[in-house]
């Protein structure tokens, strides 16, 4: 007989399959176990569709249908689920009702759901119906899996990931060209290799929003879309306080929803929203509040140096992903941001590049 942790680990593996498809919902996995054997598995596959518990029970029903007289096993099983089952009507009916309907006697849960319409209510309803509930199995791992969801609902702000690439000697861009900013796009320095670039597009597909500042938009004219990976492009978030950016830039093509944070106007045009911030108030608190109101659960910040450093200095970050090309040196140019209060979590070599992932120290307390 395997331990609770064994089956919960399988729940977490299943939950991960929903990455990039279920937001703003959390990733959730579930397994139904009868006498030490998994008889049903499921995960939340796509936002608005059936939850993990529903899919696990349906999977068990299909498996058991081939064996006459075994349908009773579901009512003699233990359901393992990586997040508290929902108790409210949203895009789908409450999962706790289905569990109670199938008379599943035991439910093992990794962690509570911080969403205010659930947050303990699912557990309470199960217990009131006589279901034995055990909570806290691989809780830390489950929270880590849905760190974006937990940060958004517990701290009323998005989970913020900083990303930049540097040369081996610490520069993120060459010196400004003699012609000024208008001539600089043709001289853009490509630092990371093709494999790392593809990985960055994967990252984009996993986040709700992607943010840049005014200078990055002018210098690089990026599309900020997912082109080298399969998935949905994030909402483009552009910080342009004085609306200096020309309408000819790719971020204004309205192919992807785009939000321009500025201090001059509030206006929406098709897929383009101009979001007004107050000039006399501090920028970062306003920005975080706006992102929460827009229901942006996570943000990948791709530059530039000034925006990245302001978020670091303000303590407004959760994770940093720094790509270093170990073979490229340019001797002078624009230095990369200086990370503080950081804990190195992972270091990986990808051909000519080294990827280092840091977590903000405050999250490890």
Tokens read off for 107: 């439910």
Residue among 19, 28, 73, 34 at smallest CA distance from 51: 28
* Cα–Cα distance, 355 to 165 (Å, whole number): 9
* Cα–Cα distance, 272 to 9 (Å, whole number): 42
Helix (H) or strand (E) holding 32: strand 29-34
**3-state SS, residue 362:** helix
Active site residue 53: yes
* Cα–Cα distance, 82 to 141 (Å, whole number): 9
Which one of 13, 35, 41, 53 is the catalytic residue? Answer: 53
Residue among 228, 227, 252, 226 at smallest CA distance from 238: 252
Q: Which of the residues are catalytic?
A: 53
């Amino acid at each position: 007989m395997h331990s609770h942790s064994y089956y919960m680990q399988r729940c977490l593996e299943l939950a991960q399959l929903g990455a990039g498809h279920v937001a703003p919902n959390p990733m959730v996995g579930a397994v139904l176990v009868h006498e030490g054997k998994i008889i049903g598995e499921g995960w939340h596959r796509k936002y608005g569709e059936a939850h993990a518990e529903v899919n696990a029970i349906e999977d068990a029903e299909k498996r058991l249908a081939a064996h006459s007289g075994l349908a009773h096993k579901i009512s003699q099983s233990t359901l393992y689920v990586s997040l508290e089952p929902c108790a409210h009507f949203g895009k789908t009916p409450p999962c706790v009702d289905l569990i109670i309907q199938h008379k599943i006697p035991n439910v093992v849960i990794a962690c509570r759901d911080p969403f205010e319409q659930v947050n303990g209510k699912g557990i309470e309803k199960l217990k009131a119906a006589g279901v034995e509930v055990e909570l806290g199995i691989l809780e830390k791992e489950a929270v880590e899996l849905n760190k974006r969801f937990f940060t958004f609902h517990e701290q009323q702000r998005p989970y913020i990931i900083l990303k930049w690439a540097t040369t081996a000697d610490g520069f993120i861009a060459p010196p400004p060209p003699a012609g000024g900013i208008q001539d600089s796009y043709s001289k853009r320095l490509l630092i990371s290799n093709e494999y790392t670039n593809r990985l960055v597009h994967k990252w984009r597909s996993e986040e709700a929003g992607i943010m840049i500042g005014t200078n990055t938009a002018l210098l690089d004219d990026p599309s900020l879309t997912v082109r080298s990976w399969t998935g949905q492009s994030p909402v483009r978030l552009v910080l342009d306080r004085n609306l200096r950016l020309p309408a000819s830039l790719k971020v204004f093509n309205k192919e992807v929803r785009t939000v321009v944070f500025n201090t001059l106007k509030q206006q929406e045009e098709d897929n383009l929203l101009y979001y007004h911030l107050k000039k006399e108030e501090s920028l970062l608190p306003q920005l975080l509040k706006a992102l929460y109101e827009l229901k942006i659960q996570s943000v990948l910040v791709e530059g530039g140096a000034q925006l990245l450093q302001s978020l670091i200095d303000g303590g407004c970050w959760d994770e940093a992903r720094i790509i270093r090309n170990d073979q490229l040196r340019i001797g002078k140019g624009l230095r990369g941001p200086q990370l503080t209060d950081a804990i190195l979590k992972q270091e990986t070599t990808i051909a000519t590049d080294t990827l280092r992932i840091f977590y903000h120290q405050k999250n490890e307390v």
